[in-house]
A and B are shown apart, each in its own frame.
Chain A
Amino acid sequence: MTTFEHCVRCTLCVENCPVFKVNPAFPGPKQAGPDAQRFRLDGERSVDDWVKLCCQCQRCEVACPYGVNVSEIILKAQLKYSREHMSPFTAHLFANTYHLGKLGALAAPITNAVTSSGAARKVMGVLGLATNLPMPEYRFLTLNRGRRRKGKRRSSRKVVFFHGCYLGFNRPDIGRGIRDLLAGLGCRVAIPRQTCCGLPALGNSDLEIAKKFARKNARMLVEYIDRGYQVVYACTSCGLTLVHDYPEVLELPEGRKIAENTYNVHEVILDLLENDGCSVEFGEVDRTIAYHIPCHLKALGIGYPAAGIFEKVPGLKITVLDDHCCGLAGSYGFKKKNQQTAEKLGTIAASAIKALEPDALISDCGACRMQLGHYTGLPALDPSEVIIASLEKGASKKSRGKRRIP
Chain B
Amino acid sequence: MSAYGYDAVVIGGGVSGIMASLTLASRGFKTALVSRGDPVCCLSTGCIDVFSHSDEPLGGIRALLPDHPYSLVGEKGIVDSLSFFLEIMGEAGLPYEGDPGRNRKILTPIGSTKNTCLVPRTMAHADMPPGEYLHVISFQGIKDFFPSYITSRHRNSTYSVYDAGVPTTLGIAARFDDASFLDAFITWLRGLEIPLDRVALPAVLGTIDPDSVMEKISRAIGRKVFEIPTLPPSVPGLRLFRALKRVMQNRGIHLYWGKGVTSVECQGRTVEAVTLATTGRAKRVQGRAFVLATGSFVSGGLFAGRDSVRETVFDLPVAAPGERKDWFNTDFFSGAHGIERAGVRVDRDFRPVGAKIDNLFACGSILAECEIMSLQCGHGLAVATGVAAAKSCAQELS
Q: What sequence of 0s and 1s flags, for each residue 371-403 of chain A, a beta carbon within 8 Å of any chain B beta carbon?
A: 000000000000000000000000000000000
> Chain A residue with minimal CB distance to B237?
A15
Residue in chain A with minimal CB distance to B34? A303
Q: How far is the CA of A324 from the CA of B169 in the complex (A)?
A: 18
Q: Is the CB of A302 within 8 A of B174?
A: no
Given the interface pairs A10-B232, A274-B4, A320-B249, the reply to whether A15 lies near B238 with Cβ below 8 Å is yes
Q: Give every chain A residue within 8 A of B252 (Cβ-Cβ).
A: 311
Cβ of A253: which chain B residues have Cβ within 8 Å of it? none
CA distance A352 to B206 in the complex (A): 13
Instruction: Please tell me if B101 contacts chain A, counting CB pairs below 8 Å.
Output: no
Which residues on A sit within 8 Å (CB–CB) of B258?
A: 62, 300-302
Complex Cα–Cα for A301 and B13 (A): 14
Chain B CB count within 10 A is highest, among A14, A21, A24, for A21
Q: Which of B2, B234, B242, B259 contacts A67 (CB 8 A)?
A: B259
> Is there a chain B Cβ closer than 8 Å to A64's Cβ?
yes
Assign chain A's interface to a size class. 35 or more
Q: Is the CB of B165 within 8 A of A24?
A: yes
Is A303 within 8 A of B170, CB to CB? no
Give Cα A14–Cα B38 distance, bound, in whole angstroms. 11
Q: A307-B254, A319-B250 are in contact. Are A65 and B38 (CB under 8 A)?
A: yes
Measured as residues with beta carbon below 8 angstroms from the partner, the interface class of chain B is: 35 or more
Q: Residue B374 at the A interface, CB < 8 A?
A: no
For the complex formed, measure the closest distance between the CB of B165 and the CB atoms of chain A, giving whole angstroms: 7
Known A-B contacts A10-B232, A271-B1; A20 and B254 likewise in contact (beta carbons under 8 Å): no
Contact in complex: B257, A301 (CB < 8 Å): yes
Q: Is A247 an interface residue (CB 8 A)?
A: yes
Interface residues of B in 21-38 (CB under 8 A from A): 32, 36-38
Q: Is the CB of B174 within 8 A of A268?
A: no
Contact, CB under 8 Å: B1 / A304: no
Q: What's the Cα separation between A256 and B131 when bound, in Å?
A: 67
Chain A nearest CB, measured from B4 CB (Å): 6
Residues of B within 8 A of A123 (CB): none
Contacting A12 at CB < 8 Å: which of B37, B171, B281? B37
Given contacts A15-B238, A62-B37, A271-B2, contact A259 B280 (CB under 8 A): yes
| A197 close to B (CB within 8 Å) | no
Give the distance to chain A from B207, nearest Cβ to Cβ, in Å. 8
Within 8 A of A (CB), among B254-312: 254-259, 276-281, 283, 298-300
A275 at the interface (CB under 8 A from B): yes
B254 and A303 contacting across the interface, CB-CB below 8 Å? yes
Q: Provided the pairs A14-B170, A20-B170, A63-B37 are in contact, do residues A268 and B279 lie with their beta carbons within 8 angstroms?
A: no
Interchain nearest-CB distance for B277 vs A (Å): 7
A302 CA / B278 CA spacing, docked (Å): 6
Closest to B277 in A: A301
Contact check, A21 vs B171: say whether CB atoms are below 8 A apart.
yes
Knowing A11-B43, A14-B233 are in contact, say whether A259-B2 is a contact too (CB < 8 A).
no
B40, B165, B255, B299, most chain A CB atoms within 10 A: B255
Most central of B2, B234, B250, B254 by chain A CB within 10 Å = B254
Report B177-233 residues with CB < 8 Å from chain A CB.
177, 208, 232-233
Task: Name the residue on B nearest A303 (C-beta).
Answer: B256
Question: For A299, what are the chain B residues with a Cβ–Cβ distance below 8 Å?
Answer: 279
The answer to whether B1 touches A308, judged by C-beta atoms less than 8 angstroms apart, is: no
Most chain B beta-carbon neighbours within 10 Å: one of A270, A300, A302, A303: A303
CB distance from B345 to the nearest CB of A (A): 24
Question: How far apart sit A320 and B166, CA to CA, in the bound complex (Å)?
Answer: 30
Chain B, Cβ-Cβ closest to A261: B281
- A171 at interface (Cβ–Cβ under 8 A)? no
- Expressed in whole angstroms, the minimum distance between the Cβ of B66 and any Cβ of chain A is 32
- Is A298's beta carbon under 8 Å from chain B? yes
Q: Does B167 contact A (CB under 8 A)?
A: yes
Query: Chain B CB within 10 Å — which of A247, A268, A307 has the most?
Result: A307
Q: List 15 A-B contacts (CB under 8 A).
A: A15-B170, A20-B170, A22-B174, A62-B37, A64-B38, A66-B300, A242-B280, A259-B280, A271-B1, A299-B279, A301-B276, A301-B278, A302-B278, A304-B254, A308-B4
Q: B interface vs A, CB < 8 Å?
A: 1-2, 4-5, 32, 36-40, 42-43, 165-168, 170-171, 174, 177, 208, 232-234, 238, 242, 245, 249-250, 252, 254-259, 276-281, 283, 298-300
